Amino acid sequence: MLQIKHIRKQYITGNLVQQALDGGSLNFRENEFVSILGPSGSGKTTLLNIIGGLDRYDDGDLIINGISTKKYKDRDWDSYRNHTIGFVFQSYNLIPHQSVLANVELALTISGISKAERRERAKKALEEVGLGDQIHKKPNQMSGGQMQRVAIARALVNNPKVLLADEPTGALDTETSVQVMELLKEVAKDRLVIMVTHNPELAEEYATRIVRLRDGKITDDSNPYLVEEASEETLRHENMGKSSMSYLTALSLSFNNLKTKKARTLLTAFAGSIGIIGIALILSLSNGVNNYITDIQKSTMTSYPITIEAQALDFSSIIEISPGHAEEMDIEHEKDAVYMNSMDLELASTVTTSLTQNNLTEFKKYLDDEDSEIHEYVGDNGILYTYDTKFGVYTTDPEGEFVNTDGSTLQEAKQSAASSMISGIGSSMGGNGDGSAMSSMVSRASDNFEELLPDSDGTGVSNAIKDNYELLYGEWPVAYDEVVLVLNKNNEIAATTIYELGILPSSEYKELMEQLEDGEKLETQLQQWSYEDICDKQFYLIPACDMYVENENGTFDCIADDEEALGERFEDAVKLKVTGVIRPDEDLENLFINAPFGYTRELTDYLIQYTEESAVVKAQEENADINVVNGMSFEPKDDAAKISDVKIYLSGLGVSDKAKLCKEMLVASAAAGSGSGTDAAMMANMGSMGETELAAMMDQ
C-alpha cells in the first residue's frame, strides 16, 4: 500500500519559488483506479513523479508498504522503480527503430531475466493489450492509440503493483482515448492505477476515485481511504533484488570469434555505454522528469571520462542482435536435411557494420567552436584535455629497501620466489617487451597515480570530485607536488597495493608469494594505519626524461632498471606530499578515481615543462634523424644501413642486455605465431639456459 503524508515539494528557479506540492496527504488502496484532476501547473506531474520515485520530496513522507522512504538510498529507489512501478506517459516514448516486441522486451533486459522468459512475457503483455498480432511492427507503423497500448504493455511487463500514467490520452482523439481508458480500467482490476488527466469526463466515467489538485493542494477526494495508524501492518519491502545486466555478459561472449581488435573496441564501447544506456532508458521512459534525468546525468557524468574513440559502435544495433532477437533471424525451413545456420555471420556483420569511424579532428573543431550549438550545453568546464603523462614513483619500505611503486619490485620478488623462467617471460612481455623503452618502463606507474579532474579554470580539483568524495583527513591537493590518497568505500586499500606502495616491506610480500607457491594457506590479519602515519610516507617522483643519462658516446643510457642510480636521484626527485585522504560517497556508483593516489593538473603541467627543458629531449630535438638513446637512425635509407646500425647497436650491449633481447625475440616470434618448431623448442629450453648462453645465442 502507498501513502503520502504531508508531502511538500518546491522548485526554485532563480528568485522564483514554486510550491509545486503543498503538504497534502493521500492513502491509496492496493487496487483501485485513481484519477488526478487539476488545471495545468497544479502539481499533478510532480505528485506522480514523487509517487513513482522519479523525483524526491522535500518534506513529508512517502510510505511504501508501511515503511517510510525517508532513509531510502539510491539503490532502494532504483529497486522500487524497477519492480513496483510501471510508467506510462503522454508521448509514449517508444524507441522508433525497434520492433514493438523489442520495445517491450527492453524493459525486461535490465532486470536480468532469461531470454526465453523475456520473450514470453513481452508477448503475453502485448497480447493483453490486444496487440498480439502486431509484435513485429515498428512504432511508426502504428496509430497513436496502438503506440500508447505498447507503452502500457511495456509498463506492465515487469508486473508492477502500481501503474502510473501521466495524461496517457493527452495526444489521442476521443475514440482512441476510450480504448486506452478501457484498457487501464481492466489493468486496475488487480493493481493500483493512478492516472493524471485533465479530461474530467473520462475520469468520471472510468476512475473509481477522483482526486482534485489546485496550486499544489488536494482540494477534493471522491473516495478517501482512511487508514488507522495503529492498524498499519509492517509489511516487508518486496523485490529488493538487484537488477543485473547478465545479457551484456552473454552478448560479449558471442563476440569471441570476432577479430580481437574489433572485439576490444566493442567491449570498451560496451563499458562506456552502460552509463549511456541508463540515460537512453530513462529518456525513453519520460521526458517530463527533468530532475530525475539531471540526477542520472550527474551520476553518469561523474563516471568521467566519457571516452570518444576513433571507432564507435551504434548501441541500438546491439540490442537488435541481443540473444532474444537473434532468434528472429532464423529462417524457417523443413527439418529434413542438413541446413546452414548463418546467424553467426549475420551477428558478425551487424556488429561490423555498426562500427563507425569518428572524425576526431572535425569533432574537436566542433567542440572548440564558440558558435556550435554544443557550446551552450558544455559550459565552461565541460571539455578538458589531458595528457597521458608517464613518470616513475619510488619509495623505500619500512626495512629501508628501494621500492618502485609500479609493482615491478614485487614482481621481482615473485619471480625469484617462483624461480620460473616462464613467469619471467610473462613479465618481460608485459613490462619491457614492447621495445619502446620510454613508455614501457614507466607505463605502470600511472596505475597507482592518476590525474584528478581539475576545476573549470584548469587548476586544483574539480567540484565533481569534491561533491562525490569525502575528505577524511588533511587537505585537497593544490600544488604540483601534492597528492591525495583514495580509499574505497570501506576505508580500505588492496593488500597488493599496500606492498606496491612500500607501506609494508617487499620481503614480506616475497614470503607470502613463497607460501602461495608452496600451496600454503595465507594467514592474513587485519592491519590498520592512522591517517597521519600514512600521509607521512615519502614518495619520490622521477620524471621519465631524468631516466636518461648522457654517456661518453654522446648517446643516452637508460637508468630505469638501475636501483642504485635511481636511488641517487632521490635528492633531485619531486618529493610528493600526501596532503589528505579521501573516500567515495556511499551512493557513488561510478568511481572516477581508480588509483590509490590522485595528483593535480599542476603536476602534469610541471612535467611537460620540465621534460621540454631536459637534456635528452633537447638532444633529440637537435638531432631529429638519430635516436639519441641507441645512436641508430630512425629511418635507415636501405637494408644495408639498417643492418649496419643493428650490428653497432648489438656490439654495444652487455651480456645481460643481449640475453634479455634474445629472450624477447624468441617470445615475440612465438607469440606472433610465426613460431617455427625451433623457436618453440628453444623457448622450452630457455629455462635451463643462463645469461651467457642466451647472449651467445644472440651473437650467433
Q: How many residues does the chain have?
A: 700
Q: Which of 291, 311, 590, 614 binds ligand ADP (CB under 6 A)?
A: 291
CA–CA separation, 5 and 8 (whole Å):
9
Cα 114 from Cα 247, distance rounded (Å): 8
Contact 508, 522 (CB under 8 A): no
CB of 287 to Mg ion, least distance (A): 12
Q: Counting contacts by CB under 6 A, is residue 11 touching ligand ADP?
A: yes
Q: Tell me the closest approach of the beta carbon of residue 319 to Mg ion, in angstroms.
A: 30
- Beta strand 574-584 pairing with 482-486: parallel
- Within positions 21 to 50, which residues make up the interface with ligand ADP, using CB under 6 A? 38, 40-46
**Contact of residue 529 among Mg ion, ligand ADP, none (CB under 5-8 Å per partner type):** none
The 40-69 contact track toward Mg ion, x by CB under 5 A, reads -----x------------------------
Residue 542 CA, distance from chain mean position: 31
Beta carbon nearer to Mg ion, 45 or 322: 45
429: DSSP letter? I
Q: How far apart are alpha carbons 655 and 185 in whole angstroms?
A: 86
Choice between 42 and 350, CB closer to Mg ion: 42
Question: For ligand ADP, how many residues bind (rule: CB under 6 A)?
Answer: 14
The item of ligand ADP, Mg ion, none sharing an interface with residue 290, based on CB under 5 to 8 Å by kind, is ligand ADP
457: buried, middle or exposed (CB in 10 Å: 19+, 13-18, 0-12)? exposed
For the bound state, the minimum distance from the C-beta of residue 241 to Mg ion, rounded and expressed in Å, comes to: 31
Among residues 449, 633, 441, the alpha carbon closest in space to that of 547 is found at 441
Provide the minimum distance between the beta carbon of 42 and ligand ADP in the complex, in angstroms, as a whole number: 4
Least distance to ligand ADP, CB of residue 44, Å: 3
Task: CB nearer to ligand ADP: give 39 or 690.
Answer: 39
In the complex, least distance from residue 34 CB atom to ligand ADP, rounded to whole angstroms: 15
Question: For residue 119, what is its C-alpha cell?
Answer: 520473450
Residue pair 89/168 in contact (Cβ under 8 Å)? The answer is yes
Shortest distance in whole angstroms from residue 221 CB to ligand ADP: 16
Rank residues 22 and 314 by Cβ distance to ligand ADP and give the closer one. 22
| Cα distances (angstroms) measured from residue 222 to each of 60, 87, 166 | 23, 24, 20
Q: Residue 15 carries which side chain, given as an amino acid letter? A: N
Q: Which is nearer to ligand ADP, 26 or 582 (CB)?
A: 26
Nearer to Mg ion by C-beta: 138 or 198? 198
Per-position DSSP letters for 547-601, written without gaps between them? GEEE-TTSSEEE-TT-HHHHHHGGGTSEEEEEEEEEEE-TT--S----SSEEE-H
Assigned C-alpha cell, 124: 503475453
Interaction mask 451-490, Mg ion, x per CB under 5 A: ----------------------------------------
Instruction: Tell whether residue 20 is a contact of ligand ADP (CB under 6 A).
Output: yes
How many residues of this chain bind Mg ion (CB under 5 A)?
Answer: 1
Tell me how far, at minimum, the Cβ of 198 lies from Mg ion, in Å. Answer: 9
Q: Indicate the residue among 13 and 307 with the shorter CB distance to ligand ADP.
A: 13
- Bridge partners of residue 16, in order along the sequence: 13
169 binds ligand ADP (CB under 6 A): no
Of 198 and 642, CB closest to ligand ADP: 198
46 or 389, CB closer to Mg ion? 46
Q: Which residues contact 449 (CB under 8 A, 6 or more apart)?
A: 391, 393, 405, 483, 595, 597, 598, 599
The residue ranges that bind ligand ADP (CB under 6 A) are 11, 13, 18, 20, 38, 40-46, 290-291
The residue ranges that bind Mg ion (CB under 5 A) are 45
